[in-house]
Amino acid sequence: MVNETNITNLLDLDLKGMESFFLGLGSKAFHGRNVFKWIHKHGVTDFDAMTDISKRLREQLHQCAEVTVPQLVFEQPASDGTRKWVLELQDGQRIETVCIPDDGRNTICVSSQVGCALDCSFCSTARQGFNRNLTVAEIIGQIWVASRKLGTAPSNIVMMGMGEPLANIDAVITAMNIMQDDLAYMVSKYRVTISTSGLVPALNRLREVSDVSLAVSLHAPDNELRNKLVPINRKYPLEELIPACREFVRGDKRRKVTWEYVMLDGINDSLQHAKALIRLLEGTPSKVNLIPFNPFPGTHYQTSPADRVEAFRMRLKRSGIIATTRKTRGDDIDAACGQLVGKVRDRSSRELRLDKLDTIKLGIS
């Protein structure tokens, strides 16, 4: 929620912003670094508990600043250890964050918007409508809450929750800076992943300012089918998307584009589709993540049979493409891929559609 008062939520500031804020108070930049570390490294939100800050400065902070995190209102565990956290924002909207444990590591799936406007036909989140972008505080606040619940910073962070991250690019970039900062959560750039449906101008901008890992919701090997499954393709077709992705990972031999490909029975799962996908990705360092479709009420899609998914994967593998089948996690609590819905109280912004995704709304200058 946008703060309409003169009180600054310090969760909205990355390290550089925090230093500038304290300089603006007539203080020193190192005080900003200290408070930044208190908030993110130690989870402290009470200025009076920040013992290396002078009493005078603490009193000043009480007048002009706050540390307000989303409120955890519901937690649900799945049979496989996955946990879904429902967080309520200051305006009453609710978002969902998912924690996926695996061999001593924890991956946190983070939301970037209240709902989603891109209307992908196989995604439950799209059915909920769209209200607004999340602030930096509401994005990084999910990591703050997760770290407190886990007792440690997450091992991996994926911007794959509710919403299209690149439609909220400014806030997402700042939040990802905080995630990687040594005074905060210290997550490697290779372990912070941003997932996009293909907003090419925003992707090009992201390449200039960040080198996190990239995942792309592809789901089809040609424009005709992708137009139906992922409508943003009508605005930014594969002829634009694939070169932009290739450029994003250029120059770093460790990096590959992860292509997310949901397997829909009789829609995109034939060997002919696999061959077309191989041709499409030729020349792009790639990893294909095949995702069994996670059903939700009202959908007309069905999950591809396991043997067809495996045949698809083996065909990609024989061509030299790294291909894995994602193990479905948290589907018994609707925490699996494409199932996050939150609670969109006001859908008045639902008109934010493909024809309105202009450069202003993408935050591109």
What percent of the chain stands above pLDDT 70? 87
pLDDT value at residue 30? 97
Helix, strand, or coil here: 23?
helix
From CA 178, how far away is CA 175, in angstroms rounded? Answer: 5
Residue 260 annotated in active site? no
Averaged pLDDT of the chain: 88
Q: Are strands 113-115 and 8-9 parallel, antiparallel or unpaired?
A: unpaired
Helix, strand, or coil here: 265?
coil
Q: What is the average pLDDT across 209-233?
A: 96
Which one of 96, 138, 164, 260 is the catalytic residue? 96
Residue 337 annotated in active site? yes
Which stretches of the chain are assigned E, i.e. beta strand? 8-9, 65-66, 71-77, 83-88, 94-102, 105-109, 113-115, 130-133, 156-159, 192-196, 213-217, 257-263, 286-292, 322-325
Which one of 64, 99, 337, 351 is the catalytic residue? 337
- pLDDT category at 235 given cuts 50, 70, 90 is very high
Could you identify the residue written with the tokens 């067809």? 308
Does the pLDDT value for residue 246 go beyond 70?
A: yes
Q: Are strands 65-66 and 286-292 parallel, antiparallel or unpaired?
A: unpaired
When comparing pLDDT for 328 and 141, which is higher? 141
Q: What would the pLDDT profile of 51-88 be if each residue is shown by its tens digit?
A: 999 999 999 999 999 999 999 999 988 888 899 999 99
pTM over 0.95: no
Kindly tell me the burial class for residue 5, based on how many C-beta atoms sit within 10 Å of its own C-beta (0-12, 13-18, 19 or more). Answer: exposed
From CA 94, how far away is CA 277, in angstroms rounded? Answer: 37
- Which domains does the chain carry? 8-66 (1.10.150.530), 71-356 (3.20.20.70)
pLDDT value at residue 351? 41
pLDDT value at residue 353? 43
